[in-house]
């Protein structure tokens, strides 16, 4: 997909709703042992990049240094029809001192308001450094199951219609 096509998908109202929601992303990557991994992770969206952060010595940092390609999904679980935003891209890893603002903002969507102050204070006291994980999407697809569906299902519907 070219940059314009990716931006078009990510600019759709449902995509924007999912990117701004309190739903954690599911980050999929290949572990250093070659096995797939998928983890929930807090994220923030800049309008062009997905930002996440983690501990410098985490397994995902080692894996992403070896293979930076990832897939993300942000999806609803409690509504019908479901809404699913799929994103792929390569990661950039930056070691930063302290706690990145993107980590705090991403977590703000997940941590209950009444606990956020003490959570943030604890995080800032604990982490001397973090790795900021940046994904600039190079592929994206929105499945809303009203105007867009998985390609295999779309192919099946077309085949069924044509007889």
Token pair belonging to 110: 């997940």
The predicted model scores a pTM of 0.90
SS3 135: strand
Topology, domain 3-161: Pnp Oxidase; Chain A (2.30.110)
pLDDT band at 61 (very low <50, low <70, confident <90, very high): very high
Q: Give residue-wise pLDDT tens across range 85-115.
A: 999 999 999 999 999 999 999 999 999 999 9
CA distance 137 to 91: 9
Task: Compute and round to an integer the Cα radius of gyration of the chain.
Answer: 17
pLDDT band per the 50, 70, 90 thresholds, residue 120: very high
For the record, the structure tokens of 138 come out as 């190079």
* Residue 158 confidence (pLDDT): 81
Q: What is the pLDDT of residues 11-45, one digit of tens each?
A: 999 999 999 999 999 999 999 999 999 999 999 99
Domain parsing of the chain, residue ranges: 3-161
């Amino acid at each position: 997909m070219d940059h314009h096509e990716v931006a078009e998908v990510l600019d759709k109202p449902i995509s924007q709703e999912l990117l701004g929601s309190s739903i954690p992303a599911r980050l999929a990557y290949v572990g250093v042992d070659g096995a797939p991994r998928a983890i929930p992770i807090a994220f923030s969206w800049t309008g062009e990049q997905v930002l996440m952060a983690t501990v410098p010595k985490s397994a995902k940092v080692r894996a992403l240094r070896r293979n930076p390609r990832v897939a993300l999904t942000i999806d609803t679980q409690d509504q019908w029809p479901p809404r699913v935003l799929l994103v792929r891209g390569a990661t950039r890893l930056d070691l930063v001192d302290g706690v990145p603002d993107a980590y705090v903002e991403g977590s703000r969507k997940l941590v209950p308001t009444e606990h956020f102050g003490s959570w943030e204070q604890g995080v800032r006291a604990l982490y001397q450094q973090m790795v900021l994980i940046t994904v600039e999407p190079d592929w994206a697809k929105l499945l809303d199951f009203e105007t867009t569906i998985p390609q295999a299902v779309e192919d099946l519907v077309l085949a069924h219609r044509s007889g």
